[in-house]
Amino acid sequence: MSHAYKGTHVRLHWQYMLAFYQNRSRPSGLIRVVLFALSIARLVKARGAIRLGITFFGLSAFGLYVIPVLTLSYSFRYGIPPETFIIPSGVLGATYFWPKLIARR
């Protein structure tokens, strides 16, 4: 953009800090797959409020991933909002397996 405006100079303050934060806080593709798998595995066996939470968070994430692909074309920016929902869904899904892992030790 600095080439389009005469007499201006673009300064990118905090660019490296924001890039570091983004690279550390966004889950990778493998982590997303694991979170989806935990959500689905727990959804089958869960009861009560945890099942409701997994259902709402999981379906919201699934819808936000699928609807842009079905209606338009997929771009990386469409994957950012579903991350907000798949992380709690996967964590709720992991609550089923966590006590079993501790009991084995």
pTM score, two decimals?
Answer: 0.63
pLDDT digits (tens, 9 = 90+) for 16-75: 888 888 888 777 788 888 888 888 888 887 788 888 888 888 888 888 878 877 777 666
Rounded CA separation 90/39 (Å) = 5
Phi and psi at residue 74, in whole multiples of 5°? -80, 135
Amino acid at 77: R
